[in-house]
Homo-oligomer: A and B are copies of this chain.
Amino acid sequence: MSFSTIAIIGLGLEGGSIGLATQAHLPEIHTTGYDLDPGTRAQARERGLVHEVCETAADAVKNCDLVIFCVPPGAMGDAATAVADVLPQDTLVSDVGSSKQAIAKALGDALPGRTIIPAHPVAGTEHSGPGAGFATLFHNRWCIITPPEPTDLLKLTALVEFWEALGANVEIMDAKHHDLVLAVTSHLPHLIAYTIVGTASDLEDVTEGEVIKYSAGGFRDFTRIAASDPTMWRDVFLSNKEAVLTMLQRFTEDLTGLQRAIRVGDGEALFDHFARTRTIRRSIIEEGQDDDRPDFGRTDHQT
């Protein structure tokens, strides 16, 4: 492995998981970390998320050859600016943010002349904070790396090897295309989940108690996603605005089509649509991207 010291800035779900996974899979690498929040630093120390939790970002990065920013998209610029003066000239700069064009620009503006290769591990849970991370988060998940043009191929190779060592499958992608793909596979689903949970909790004729009680009919699935970190998701939507709005437009058109089919009683159109969407889940399971057990294998079926 080309890296001997890795600094992780931001010790929440992603940063903490990288720290734990690196210690598990690459024990020869020294890991340092920093988080703006003193409580998070204390918990990170307790859980041993990295070898060394530092009291300043400067301390964390001063000897590293890879720094990974694991803060919300909107905080990337400030987090990078805070270490600009002390970051070793040859250190590779990367991140884990969910939108890549805006973050590449923010890091580039804050750290001119440095080698920056953004990355996005498509892995997470609805939990956040320093207690949420675990070493296997990236196992058999995709990590999308979006190198700028031209890129430092040796450093790119090292970053690919690093993510593969953590259990991820790596894909190289253009940042703009990444933002479009993730807008549909991640950002739009979150926006819709946040919307419907808000709608359901804000009705006059159905109480919130009823919504909670009868949530097993489908609604509860959406509440998991809608329990994700609000700061991060605010930043995702603001930093990938254009692609999200494009995908939302497509979704709205399709929803209007189904709404019309219901209104006019067009059972055939509904059936055709529902039969078509059924097949895509099979492919997702075949590619190892979801659990085949009914209902995601929730415990209540084992009791």
Contact = CB atoms under 8 A, between A and B. Distances in A.
A300 to B, nearest CB: 6
Interface residues of A, number: 116
A268 to B, nearest CB: 8
A182 B280 contact: no
Contact of A287 (B213, B283, B300): B213
Q: Which of A74, A224, A276 has the most CB of B within 10 A?
A: A224
Contacts of A252: 252, 255
A51 interface: no
Given A213-B287, A234-B271, A185 B219 contact: yes
Specify how many copies of this chain sit in the oligomer: 2
A294 interface: yes
Given A215-B289, A220-B290, A270-B238, A281 B195 contact: no
Contact of A217 (B185, B202, B226, B270): B185
Nearest to A290: B220
A273 B132 CA distance: 22
A192 interface: yes
A294 B123 CA distance: 12
Nearest to A207: B181
A196 B205 contact: no
Contacts of A165: none
Q: Which of A126, A203, A221, A234 has the most CB of B within 10 A?
A: A234
A125 B281 CA distance: 14
